[in-house]
Structure 1
Amino acid sequence: MEYEILVRLLTAVFLGIVIGIERQWHKCIAGLRTNVLVAVGACLFVMLDFASGGESSMRIAAQIVSGIGFLGAGVIFREGLTVRGLDTAATLWCSAAIGTLAGAGFLILATAGTIIVVAVNSILRPMADWIDRYNHQHGKITSSQKVLSKDKMSI
C-alpha cells in the first residue's frame, strides 16, 4: 500500500512539473511551483481517503473542484476591457484534475490529461495569436476588442 501511495504521489509531482514547465516557459502568472503544488495537493487529498480506507473520494474530488475555483479566480485580472489569466486559471483547474486522477490511481489517464493540457497550451497558443492578428488586420474586431495588448499583437 505504501509503494502504491508513493507511486501516485510521484506521478502527481512529475505531471505537475511537466505542466508547470510549459507555464513557466511562457511566463504565465502561475508557473512551475504553483502547478506542482496544485497537482500534489489534489493528489494528497484523494490519497488521504485511499490510505484511510474511506469511500468518500468523490466528495473529496468535488471539494477540490470547488476549492481550486477560488485559487483560479485569484489569477484572473481585468485590464480595461481585456481579461487576463483565464488560461492560467483553466490550467490550474486541469492540474488539480490531474493530481486527483493520480491520487485515485488513474495514472495513465492522468498522464494523457497532462499531454493534452501541455499540447493545448503550446500548440493552440500560436494558432489563437494568428487568428487574433488576422481578425485585427481585416477589421473583424470590434472597438472594444482592439484593446488587446501590443505584445499579443506582435507575436
Structure 2
Amino acid sequence: MISHKEIIIRLILSAITGGLIGVEREVNNRPAGLRTHILVSVGSALMMLVSIDGFYDVETGLRTADSARLAAQVVSGIGFLGAGTIIKTGSNIKGLTTAASLWACACVGLAIGNGYYLGGLLTSVIILFTLMSLRSIEKRIFKGKYKKLEIISINRPGLIGEIGMLLGKHDIIIKDINIVDGEIEDREEHGTMEIHFMVKVRKNFNPNNFFREIYKIEGIFEALFYGRKIHDNNFQVL
C-alpha cells in the first residue's frame, strides 16, 4: 500500500508538471491551456494510484483484478479530449501539437502516479523543450527553404486548382495552403479571399515569367511574394 505522504507528493508533482506544460500552451493562446493540462495530469496520476492500490483484498493482500487495465484506458481515452483541440479552417489544420501535449501530459501523470519519477520528470523537461525551443529552431531551419506567397482574389470555383497548375508548371513545391475568407478593406468587390501558400522555389525560378502568368488567371488582383507587393509587369528579382 502507498503511504498518504507518497500519494500527496505524486498528485502535487503531477499537477506541477502538467501546469508547466499548460502555461506554455496558455501563453500561445491554444485551446487547451493551464487548467486543462493540470486536470489531465492529476487525473491520470490518480487513475494510476487507484490502479496500484484500488484492487487489493485487504484480508488476503492479493489483487482482485488486473490493475493495469484501468490505467490503460487513460491512454486511449485521452484521444477524445485531444480531438476537441484540433480545429480545421479551410485547408488549414491547427491544434495537433496541443492534442499531442495533452496525450503526453497524461503519460507523465501515469508515470508519476506510478512512482516513476525520473521518467516522468525527464519527459516533462523534453516536452517543455520541444514546445518552447524547437519552434524557433524549426523556423530557422525552414526559413531559407520556404517562402510565403500571398494571393488576394475573387472567391470562385476552380481558382486554387488553376494556381496549383501554374505553380507546378514552374516547378514550385507547395508545403502548405491557408485560405482566409472575407472582404478586403478599401475595395468595392465582395466575396474576396486571401490564399497563403508556403512554397519552395527552384534555383532557376524565373519570377518575372511567373507573375506575368499569374495575373492572367481570372479573379486575381493582387499578389505578394517575400512580403512585397507584386504588380503585373512590375516584378523585381529579390
TM-score for both structures, normalised by structure 1 = 0.86
What one-letter code is carried by the residue in structure 2 that aligns with 1:15?
T
Residue equivalent to 1:65 = 75
What one-letter code is carried by the residue in structure 2 that aligns with 1:45?
M
Residue equivalent to 2:138 = 128
Residue equivalent to 2:88 = 78
Aligned pairs (5 A) from 1:113-124: 113-124=123-134
Residue equivalent to 1:56 = 66
1:135 Cα deviation from its structure 2 partner: 3.4
Higher strand share: 2
Instruction: Report percent identity of matched pairs.
Output: 34
1: CA distance, partners of 2:53 / 2:38: 21
1: CA distance, partners of 2:43 / 2:87: 24
1: CA distance, partners of 2:176 / 2:129: 26
- How many residue pairs get aligned? The number is 152
Moved more, 56-65 or 16-25: 56-65
Residue equivalent to 1:145 = 176
Answer yes or no: is the 8 Å Cα contact 2:92–2:177 preserved in 1.
no
1: CA distance, partners of 2:40 / 2:93: 23
Higher helix share: 1
Q: Describe the SS at the equivalent of 1:111.
A: helix
2: CA distance, partners of 1:45 / 1:74: 22
Residue equivalent to 2:222 = none
Matched, 1:99 2:109: yes
2: CA distance, partners of 1:14 / 1:138: 39
Q: Which residue among 83, 93, 100 is the counterpart of 1:90? A: 100
Larger radius of gyration: 2
Residue equivalent to 1:111 = 121
Structure 1 pair 58–141 and aligned structure 2 pair: CA distance change class (3 A)? farther
TM-score for both structures, normalised by structure 2 = 0.58
Q: Deviations over 1:76-133 (max 9, x none)?
A: 1111111100000000000000000011111121110100000000111112333454
1:72 Cα deviation from its structure 2 partner: 0.4
Q: Describe the SS at the equivalent of 1:78.
A: strand
Structure 1 pair 141–24 and aligned structure 2 pair: CA distance change class (3 A)? farther
5+ residue gaps, structure 1: none
1: CA distance, partners of 2:176 / 2:68: 41
Moved more, 30-39 or 17-26: 17-26
2: CA distance, partners of 1:138 / 1:77: 22
Structure 1 pair 123–67 and aligned structure 2 pair: CA distance change class (3 A)? same
Residue equivalent to 1:47 = 49
Q: Deviations over 1:21-62 (max 9, x none)?
A: 111122211110000000001011111122223563421222
